[in-house]
Amino acid sequence: MNNAYEIAAATYLLIGIFLGTIGPAGKDIAKEVDRARGSPMTNAFMEREAPSEVKLFFFRITITLGFVLLWPFFIYGIMKEHNRSVALDKKLEDERAEGIWFHYMGGHGTITCKDCDHSEEVTSFIHGINSSSSGFQCQGCGKLSSIRAGGPGRANEYEESLECECGGTLKRDKVIFCPSCRSKNLSYQMQYIT
């Protein structure tokens, strides 16, 4: 009978050690330690010295031990967070598989259609001192344009002017399609970024 308790306790601890080191909680613990370490900038901002590596080591041991002993209390939240980030990665991967998007393109460059060889310069997002330009595509005729918005805090002012000459709507949150043949099989070559 004693044996059964020992096996149960050992299993419990082993699961805790697994989750708290190589399992999902291990990553969270490493993040906590990094946060405690701070960066030169955050430490300067808080006017403190970076904690010594010895202190950080004990900090890490303490939270790992705490987790190993009490893991059933934490695991639900950690798994939920873990699943959420896996779902997010999956979503990003799916989006990238669909084609190119303004929000994944940087700066200014050229898109080239792999189906009809059409190529065109496009601005995805660049900013100057007092203004920024964002790329849009008309969902009707496919025309690519970049719209300037004024200074900090005024970035959304162009939202009202998002209509193309053809009557179509300009969108930024759609997969970019070839203005010539409407294929989504495009490549993007960045030229510069500001």
Residue ranges that bind Zn ion, judged by CB under 5 A:
113, 115-116, 118, 138, 140-141, 143, 164, 166, 168, 178, 180-181, 183
For Zn ion, give the closer residue by CB, 23 or 142: 142
Could you tell me the smallest distance in angstroms from the CB atom of residue 176 to Zn ion?
Answer: 11
39: DSSP letter: -
For Zn ion, give the closer residue by CB, 131 or 183: 183
96: left (phi over 0), alpha (psi -120 to 50) or beta: alpha
For Zn ion, give the closer residue by CB, 146 or 180: 180
For Zn ion, give the closer residue by CB, 56 or 164: 164
Could you tell me the smallest distance in angstroms from the CB atom of residue 105 to Zn ion?
Answer: 17
For Zn ion, give the closer residue by CB, 169 or 194: 169
109 Cβ neighbours under 8 A, 6+ residues apart: 121, 122, 124, 188, 189, 190, 191, 192
114, amino acid identity: K
Q: Judge contact between 142 and 177, C-beta under 8 A.
A: yes
Secondary structure (3-state) at 13: helix
Q: Which of 87, 94, 68, 51 is nearest to 10 (CA)?
A: 68
Could you tell me the smallest distance in angstroms from the CB atom of residue 109 to Zn ion?
Answer: 17
Could you tell me the smallest distance in angstroms from the CB atom of residue 99 to Zn ion?
Answer: 12
Which DSSP string do the residues of 116-175 spell out, in sequence order? T--EEEEEEEEE-SSEEEEEEEETTT--EEEEEEESTT-TTGGGGG-B-TTSPBEESSSB
Phi, psi (5° rounding) for residue 10? -65, -40
Could you tell me the smallest distance in angstroms from the CB atom of residue 169 to Zn ion?
Answer: 8
Could you tell me the smallest distance in angstroms from the CB atom of residue 56 to Zn ion?
Answer: 55
Relative to beta strand 131-138, strand 144-150 is antiparallel
For Zn ion, give the closer residue by CB, 68 or 111: 111
